Amino acid sequence: MECWHYVEVTKSGQPILRENEKDILIEDKIGLYHGKNRIKNRQSGRLFLTTQRLIYVDDVNPVKYSVCLELDDIDHLEYSSRFLKRSAKVILFLLDMGNLKSGGQSTSKAEGPINEVSTWVCPICMFTNETEGVLTENTFPSPICENCGVPLVYEMTMNTINIIDNKLGNSDSNLEGSGEKNLNACPACTFINHALIKNCEICGARLPNAKIRSHNVNHEDSRVLIELDCKLLRDKSNKNSNLEADFVQFSFRKGDGLLFSQALEKSLEDIKNLRQKNSFNEGIVSINGISIGIKETVELPYLEKRLNKFGITSLENSRETQLANNDILLSNALTDLNQLMSLANDIEKVFKTHMKNETDNLQNKPSFLIDREKFYNKSMFLNEIAREIFQFVITEFKSEKNDDIIMVTLVDLYALYNKTMRIGMGYISPSEMREACGRFEVLGLTSLKLKKLNGRVLCLSSENSFDYINNQIIKLLEDEPGCDILQITQTMNKHSTGTSWTIGIITEVLENCINKGEIVIDEQLSGLTYYKNDIWI
């Protein structure tokens, strides 16, 4: 049961991803099983495969019932295809939590790959080798001697094996008492996180000891309530054993899910590969001035020491070459410095713009990328787009005072949405947007509706927004008769801070008022002005 985690989901039913997390594939109509039993309330939803998690978003109540599964917890998977009434399933075998707890550190496999180094002496050539991890009898494949290339035979080298714990050596000075186990250092950026955190606060990478940690703490997330649907009567012990089941299943009610299982398998593999790779300081050239790998070949001489020539001319010559060399060196240094400065400027610029963006939209950063290629068919894509548009409109046009009054023409929304959300992923077409907006009702997003104003302009609006803006305009014209549309727009937007009523909307509402006879017009050379109709009723 501990494998299920709580996941944050937006009101429109889209998961909020972590930093550095990317989504890969989405599958519709999924049911969840824990062990062999159905999980209650989680039998129809969408399944998101991301680079870090499998996220189940429930169709009925996305905020409450959505759960996720860390890809790190998955050992391997099996795919079983559709057979008669049985729908296709992916069976995920989880890593054994219990084993991890007790034996996780003794296996040389994955945990903390850079923490420990074993040294051993080759029995053939007596060369002292260093191997990452802890060497045991079971280490497979056996490390090979760097000097003579003969693989290690454990029995023969047993005595010489010496295990050095790097971490212990480095850190006992600055953190005593907390114990080295609780040092939750990020394998990617070395930031030492709080002991209970599972993903690095700085870079979002999965922390290596997350599993052990969560197990040690043994806290239960109250937000995740898993109830199994046991159809068959079983005795208690049997039921308990079910709770401890080490596999979960995803059932594909629609479609065969073959593609999904392949994608999942691939991402699992990727994760495993990534884990074995030394992930930080990748592609580095030098650390603290000591170069690694490629050595600097050309060294510029400061002084020509070899004076194998004689006489004053040769001395003068050598002096000149020396000066010339110094010049080259100096100018090289200056260009380097200039480059460094321009780089620094660039970084500063990026930082500044980023800071500005951060402060601008602190709460609504784009959480989720919707890419056409991730969807099997257009309908699913549109559903997802619809959700995103809904969320976008809700957050973008929400005013502080009346957060339920939203009205925006589809044309404006189209431009805004494509410019803010779709850059880099391909714009959606107007007809797609139209169709997506039409799907709100089906997706249970009822607070916004597609309306046709004056029989010609399509608008996305909340229930009472039209009357609201109508009354506002009439009130405004009562106070200040003879406003033109610009003044109306300005005054309307001055009053309400968050929402901006676009000129398109106001034009349409005015048009509607004129048709109803609530407002009369005065046409001059300078343009149209509007008056409240008090006389001709």
Q: Min. distance of Cβ 470 from other proteins in angstroms?
A: 16
Residue in 151, 426, 517, 527 binding other proteins, rule: CB under 8 A: 517
DSSP state of 197: -
Q: Min. distance of Cβ 410 from other proteins in angstroms?
A: 25
Q: Does 284 bind other proteins (CB under 8 A)?
A: no
Residue 261, CB-side half-sphere exposure with 13 Å CA sphere: 20
Integer Rg of the chain from CA:
33
DSSP E strands, 35-173: 37-39, 45-50, 53-58, 67-70, 74-80, 88-94, 116-121, 128-132, 162-165
Q: Does 115 bind other proteins (CB under 8 A)?
A: no
For other proteins, give the closer residue by CB, 310 or 536: 536
Q: Min. distance of Cβ 62 from other proteins in angstroms?
A: 47
Q: Which amino acid is at 95?
A: L
- 9 forms bridges with which residues in the sheet? 15
Q: Does 454 bind other proteins (CB under 8 A)?
A: no
Q: Does 423 bind other proteins (CB under 8 A)?
A: no
For other proteins, give the closer residue by CB, 174 or 526: 526
Q: Min. distance of Cβ 533 from other proteins in angstroms?
A: 7
Q: Min. distance of Cβ 511 from other proteins in angstroms?
A: 9
DSSP string, 27-73: EEEEEEEETTEEETT-SSEEEEEESSEEEEEESS-HHHH-EEEEGGG
Q: What is the 3-state secondary structure (H, E, C) of 225-237?
A: CCCEECCCCCCHH
| CB contact at 8 A, 209 and 184 | yes
Write the interaction track for other proteins spanning residues 75-114; mark x where CB under 8 A is met and - where it is not. Answer: ----------------------------------------
DSSP state of 398: -
Q: Min. distance of Cβ 512 from other proteins in angstroms?
A: 11
- 5 forms bridges with which residues in the sheet? 68
Helices (H) and strands (E) in the chain, counts: 14, 22
Question: CB under 8 A: which stretch of 225-233, 282-290, 308-316, 514-522 binds other proteins?
Answer: 514-522
Residue in 96, 284, 521, 527 binding other proteins, rule: CB under 8 A: 521
Question: CB under 8 A: which stretch of 205-213, 328-336, 447-455, 513-521 binds other proteins?
Answer: 513-521
| CB contact at 8 A, 376 and 259 | yes
Q: Does 535 bind other proteins (CB under 8 A)?
A: yes
Q: Contacts with other proteins in 471-510 (CB under 8 A)?
A: 482
Report the distance separating Cα 88 and Cα 252, nearest Å: 5
Q: Min. distance of Cβ 516 from other proteins in angstroms?
A: 8
DSSP state of 151: B
Question: CB under 8 A: which stretch of 9-17, 290-298, 446-454, 518-526 binds other proteins?
Answer: 518-526
For other proteins, give the closer residue by CB, 193 or 529: 529
Q: Does 149 bind other proteins (CB under 8 A)?
A: no
527 in helix, strand or coil? Answer: strand
Q: Does 527 bind other proteins (CB under 8 A)?
A: no
Q: Does 536 bind other proteins (CB under 8 A)?
A: yes
Q: Does 442 bind other proteins (CB under 8 A)?
A: no
Residue 480, token pair as written in the block: 């200040």
- Peptide bond before 141: cis, by omega within 30 degrees of 0? yes
- The dihedral sign for the CA sequence 281, 287, 292, 296: positive
Q: Does 24 bind other proteins (CB under 8 A)?
A: no
Question: CB under 8 A: which stretch of 307-315, 324-332, 403-411, 526-534 binds other proteins?
Answer: 526-534
Residue in 115, 461, 462, 529 binding other proteins, rule: CB under 8 A: 529
Q: Does 512 bind other proteins (CB under 8 A)?
A: no
Report the distance separating Cα 507 and Cα 416, nearest Å: 19
482 in helix, strand or coil? Answer: coil
CA–CA distances in Å: residue 53 to residues 5, 48, 181, 199: 10, 8, 25, 12
Q: Does 327 bind other proteins (CB under 8 A)?
A: no
Size of the site for other proteins (CB under 8 A): 16
Report the distance separating Cα 263 and Cα 244, nearest Å: 27
Would you tell me which residues interact with other proteins (CB under 8 A)?
A: 482, 514-517, 520-524, 529, 531, 533, 535-537
